[in-house]
Amino acid sequence: MQEQSLSHPETAGRDVRTGPSPGRYTLRRLLRSRSAIVGGVLLVAIALTAILAPIISPYNPIKTNQRVPLESPSPGHLMGTDRFGRDIFTRVLWGGRISLLVGLVSVGIAAFTGVTLGLVAGYYGGRTDTLIMRFVDILLAFPGILLALAVIATLGSNLRNLMIAVGIAAIPDYVRIMRGTVLSLKEREFVLAARVVGCRDLSIIFKHIFPNTMAPLTVLATLRIAGAIITGATLSFLGLGIQPPTPEWGNMLAEGRGFLEHAWWVALFPGLAIMGAVFAINLLGDGLRDVLDPRLRL
Amino acid sequence: MLASFIAQRLLQLIPVLIGISVLTFLMLHLVPGDPVSIFAGDKPLTEERAAVLRHELGLDRPLWVQYFDYASHVVRGDLGRALRNQRPVLDSIIEVLPGTVQLTLAALTLAVLTGVTAGVVAALAHGTWLDTAAMAFAILGVSMPVFYSSLLMILLFSFTLGWLPATGQGGIERLIMPALALGFISSALLARLVRSGMLEVLSQEYVVTARAKGLARRVVILRHALKNALIPVITMIGLQLGALLGGAVVTETIFSRPGVGRLAVDAILSRDFPLVQGTVLFGATAYVLVNLAIDALYTLVDPRIRYS
């Protein structure tokens, strides 16, 4: 069944069979957004260097080399070395694997849980809606990182728990956005038509409503990856996430904190990596929002 | 009118506050393994000792009985005692609270001053290099984690220029850097919001009319445009307070300032569970109440909003 996307007011009423497909249309507009292109290219570059870290990194990220501790940046060590003589460039590349993974997986956890709850709350309404939204109110009562801290305090600190903690803290946003979108969609004619021809609830939710929520969902998920990377790195920085010697941008910065006065490079480069990744994702997210859902306030 | 609104909202808050207390209570029981082990200290936990401790702590009672016991203590202001020094948790929180309040308010003030100024300047200079510079500052702000801006400031102002002390509490010179670092992200978000709000308002008919009847540009901007563009800013301030309270966790740790955030991190690192529960419960409750106060502020700024 052909449905008009909520997010393309310009295409509303146009016969989609004669125009470009929504995907191609979106891509074409996205390619015209300078911020989306710069953000996208930067993000792909950062992701590629992280993925290819085992191939392109010049040194071992964990093996210490006491002959070159705290060496300043040089052609041999582009970003210098840390107190154990480990190459910071290598550790930044490897650290990206974990920081990006934390961002992606935690957003996945938040999106899956939040979307399911939002769809159910919005579609069924009534008591189910009240129950879910009260639960969300309680989660919202915890300011940002406090909820993640509480989860880490309860479950303990390791990679899995870090992703769960960051993910849980991000759930409320998805529930609210999804519920709002579903509430406006479920009164639309194509949903009523599906109901009239006898479609089951699950089929209506997943086949008819869910595909139309993809625009706000994509924008939200993209922008929230940036937030998740920062929260994950913050927890590791505080000693509550990924523990050294495993390289992760947040714990590398924490290690560099003690040497700030005499070896600034130990903290500077992991921080630049976090900023670069977050900056790229924010640019891409802003571009995606302008194209997909300009009215979305995030 | 306002009083009845606040009373009504306080009533609505009751289920949320109960939910917060249930979650913080359950934290202890969701810890992997036996919750008794948290209270055992350094001594080895034998079966007999575990049984004795469990009975002493009341952990052998049904869960709901334990919750009501916990909740009845909480409403009386008893958040338990810290494991490390046996001090009442609430006393430890109240002792460091002024530091967090001072830091959060200073950060918020700086964020509002710089964010609103940058947003107004960018909107008035729409399309010029000033607009581009203000928005570059804004996107830099939202991309920079608090701990990184804090470290960069320490590197610049303490180690390189020697202007400000890097750590500690007391005196305005020790408040400037933490407040700037903490307020930077909020300032950037506010700048973006004020800019788009001002651009929208400046094209409204009443602003054009005000200009046409010969009012001074300053009066039109401050009294007609900015006042209306500030309404969403108040919502944002409410949301940002949560971010600032969370950010205080990091800032207090980096600048070695006593505060509720640092107390929470230290408690988690030393596995002092009553203190963790207490700080989490306190943080969430304070956040909810502050947001209620901000909702009430709407009536003062926007008389069109009537609460019924």
What distance lies between CA A122 and its chain's CA centroid? 24
Quote the CA–CA distance of B24 and B4 in Å, as a whole number: 30
Q: Do residues B162 and B83 make contact, with C-beta atoms less than 8 angstroms apart? A: no
pLDDT band at A128 (very low <50, low <70, confident <90, very high): very high
How many of the other CB atoms lie within 10 Å of CB of A200?
11
* pLDDT tens-digit map of A220-265: 898 899 999 999 999 999 999 999 999 999 999 999 998 988 999 9
**Range among A5-9, A24-28, B161-165 with highest mean pLDDT value:** B161-165
**pLDDT greater at residue A28 or residue A161:** A161
Mean pLDDT for the stretch of residues B253-264: 92
CA-based nearest residue in chain A for residue B278? A150
pLDDT attached to residue B299: 65
Strands in chain B per DSSP E: none
* pLDDT tens-digit map of B198-248: 888 888 888 888 888 888 888 888 888 887 777 777 777 777 877 788 788
Quote the CA–CA distance of A156 and A150 in Å, as a whole number: 10
Looking at the DSSP assignment, which residues form a beta bridge with residue A87? A81
Q: Do residues B103 and B182 make contact, with C-beta atoms less than 8 angstroms apart? A: yes
* Residue with token string 């750590």: B167
- Beta-carbon contacts of residue A41 (< 8 Å; ≥ 6 apart): none
Q: Do residues A3 and A190 make contact, with C-beta atoms less than 8 angstroms apart? A: yes
Written as six digits, the tokens of A190 are 């194509």
The complex's ipTM? Answer: 0.85
Mean pLDDT for the stretch of residues B5-12: 82
The distance in angstroms from the start CA to the end CA of chain B is 7
Mean pLDDT for the stretch of residues A206-224: 87
3-class state of residue A85 by DSSP: coil
pLDDT band at A71 (very low <50, low <70, confident <90, very high): very high
Indicate left, alpha or beta for B80 from its phi (over 0: left) and psi (-120 to 50: alpha): left
Quote the CA–CA distance of A274 and A243 in Å, as a whole number: 17
Residues making up chain A, counted from first to last: 298
Angle between helices B63-75 and B2-30 (to 10 degrees): 140
pLDDT attached to residue B227: 79
Nearest to A228 by CA among A93, A106, A141, A140: A106
In angstroms, the separation between the Cα of residue B206 and the nearest Cα of chain A is 24
Nearest to B269 among A141, A239, A253 (CB): A239
Nearest to B182 by CA among B152, B215, B145, B234: B145
pLDDT band at A181 (very low <50, low <70, confident <90, very high): confident
* Residue with token string 């800013």: B233
Is a pLDDT exceeding 60 seen at residue A1? Answer: no
DSSP state of A87: B
**Range among A175-184, B32-41, B291-300 with highest mean pLDDT value:** A175-184
Written as six digits, the tokens of A26 are 């979106």
Say whether B145 and A233 touch across the interface (CB within 8 A): yes
The distance in angstroms from the start CA to the end CA of chain A is 31
Nearest to A155 by CA among B271, B243, B57, B247: B271
Q: Do residues A168 and A108 make contact, with C-beta atoms less than 8 angstroms apart? A: no
pLDDT attached to residue A14: 46
Looking at the DSSP assignment, which residues form a beta bridge with residue B22? none
Please report residues of B whose CB lies closer than 8 A to that of A153. 27, 267-268, 273, 276, 280
pTM for this entry = 0.86
pLDDT attached to residue A49: 95
Mean pLDDT for the stretch of residues A122-145: 88
CA-based nearest residue in chain B for residue A137? B16
3-class state of residue B88 by DSSP: strand
- Chain A interface, Cβ < 8 Å to B: 134-135, 137-138, 141-146, 149-150, 152-156, 226, 230, 233-234, 237-240, 250, 253, 256-257, 260-261, 264, 267, 271, 274-275, 278-279, 282-283
pLDDT band at A9 (very low <50, low <70, confident <90, very high): very low
Q: Do residues B100 and B261 make contact, with C-beta atoms less than 8 angstroms apart? A: yes
3-class state of residue A81 by DSSP: strand
Q: Which long-range contacts (CB under 8 A, 24 or more apart) does A124-127 make?
A: A124/A201
CA angle A159, A164, A166 (to 5 degrees): 95
List the single best residue of A132, A142, A286 to mutate versus B (max B Cβ within 10 A). A142
Nearest to B131 by CA among B194, B40, B62, B66: B194
Is a pLDDT exceeding 90 seen at residue A137? Answer: no
- Rounded percentage of chain A residues whose pLDDT exceeds 70: 91
Question: Mapped to the 3 state alphabet, what secondary structure does A272-283 carry?
Answer: HHHHHHHHHHHH
CA-based nearest residue in chain B for residue A232? B145
